[in-house]
Homo-oligomer: A and B are copies of this chain.
Amino acid sequence: MADTDEAYVLRPVGRVVSPLTDAASAPRQGDEGTPAAWLVFDTSVERALRDLSVGAELLVLTWLDRARRDVLAVHPRGDESRPETGVFSTRSPHRPNPIGLHRVRVLAVDGLRVQVADLEALDGTPVLDVKPVLGAVNER
Contact = CB atoms under 8 A, between A and B. Distances in A.
Mostly helix, strand, loop or mixed at chain A's interface?
Answer: mixed
A131 B7 contact: no
Contacts of A17: 2
A21 interface: no
Contact of A15 (B4, B56, B72): B4
A56 B89 contact: yes
A32 B32 CA distance: 32
Interface in A77-129: 77, 85-91, 95-97, 99, 101, 112, 124, 126, 128-129
Interface of A: 1-2, 4, 6-15, 17, 28-29, 31-32, 40-42, 44-45, 47-52, 56, 58-59, 61, 63, 65, 72-73, 76-77, 85-91, 95-97, 99, 101, 112, 124, 126, 128-132, 134, 137, 140
